[in-house]
Amino acid sequence: MATSSFSREFVLSKEAAEIICEELDKQTESYVPKKDMHEELKKGEEVFKRLLPHL
């Protein structure tokens, strides 16, 4: 398997290509955000309303 980048060409052995393909096919854990964005937006809206009560 051969692939190229902007300045180099890489040639992989069949075994290396198979290992890479196996790793890419593995299932990964779903991303779980550290913060609840709806809750963060709600907090921001409350702060905004408190700072600018005339709006």
Neighbours of 4 (CB within 10 A): 9
Domain count, the chain: 1
CA atoms within 13 A on the CB side of 44: 6
The pLDDT tens digits of the residues spanning 5-51 come to 577 777 889 999 999 999 989 888 888 889 999 999 999 999 988 88
Neighbours of 31 (CB within 10 A): 6
- Is residue 54 one of the residues assigned to a domain? no
- Is residue 34 one of the residues assigned to a domain? no
Q: Which amino acid does the sequence have at 46?
A: E
- Is residue 35 one of the residues assigned to a domain? no
Full residue range of the structural domain in which residue 10 is found: 1-25
- Is residue 4 one of the residues assigned to a domain? yes
Full-model pTM? 0.40
Q: Are 14 and 1 in contact (CB under 8 A)?
A: yes
- Is residue 12 one of the residues assigned to a domain? yes
Residue 53 — pLDDT band, cuts 50, 70, 90?
Answer: confident
